[in-house]
Amino acid sequence: EADADGHRTEDSVLAGKIYAELTSLGYRVFYSRETLREYPGEKFEPHIFAALYSAKLMLLVATSSEYVESTWVRNEWKRYLDQVDREGQLGQGKVLLPVTWKMSPKKLPQALGQLEAIELERHDAMSRLMRYVRARIPKKEAGPNPERNSDSIAERLMDRAFREIRDRRWETADQCCEDA
């Protein structure tokens, strides 16, 4: 997220653009800068671990070997890659895709070297990336409410309240709103 001087990294800026593109297509995306904003003052590791465990696809945005090898980033992609290896044998279909910018995929750590990668310098790279995502995660799996990035309890209750209003079940709708 930030370099040694506290400035936002190219990785973070690029991940933000990818996040915006994917959410505009209706995908539920975990991007710490946005997603963890909902949890101020909390420890983030349980949220990150839950996202790693449930994700069907992890995009590893890389502009330098240094950032890819940093403690937190390395921990996250290694955990996910372990799941890919473990669950890949069971046909679960988890995928880790490195997305590079100004960096050759050959400079990725050896554990990532055998993976397909997308180099964003190419003129059609973003559209290729979106096609890649759509091919691996069909729209029906994108999430229950594509307009929203969060799946919080309050949002689910409000979704239910609106369904109850539509079906003219006023008391149930009122209770959902109270609970939310």
End-to-end CA distance of the chain: 32
User: How far, in Å, CA of 130 to CA of 136, rounded?
Assistant: 10
- pLDDT tens readout for residues 121-179: 888 888 999 999 999 887 655 554 444 444 567 677 776 776 777 777 777 777 767 77
Residues ≥6 apart with Cβ < 8 Å to 171: none
Chain centroid, CA 113 distance in Å: 21
| Cβ burial, residue 161 (10 Å; 0-12/13-18/19+) | buried
User: How far, in Å, CA of 71 to CA of 83, rounded?
Assistant: 19
User: How far, in Å, CA of 110 to CA of 130, rounded?
Assistant: 26
User: How far, in Å, CA of 171 to CA of 177, rounded?
Assistant: 10
What is the pLDDT averaged over residues 108-132?
A: 90
Cα→Cα distances 1→52, 112, 113, 168, Å: 18, 21, 23, 47
What is the pLDDT averaged over residues 82-103?
A: 79
The pLDDT value recorded for residue 150 is: 43
pLDDT for 107 beyond 80:
yes
Count of C-beta atoms within a 10 Å radius of residue 82: 12
If one compares 112 and 163, the residue with the highest pLDDT of the two is 112
Reported as a pLDDT band with limits 50, 70 and 90, residue 90 is very low
Query: pTM here?
Result: 0.71
Helix (H, G, I), strand (E, B) or coil at 1: coil
Contact status, residue 95 vs residue 58, Cβ threshold 8 Å: yes
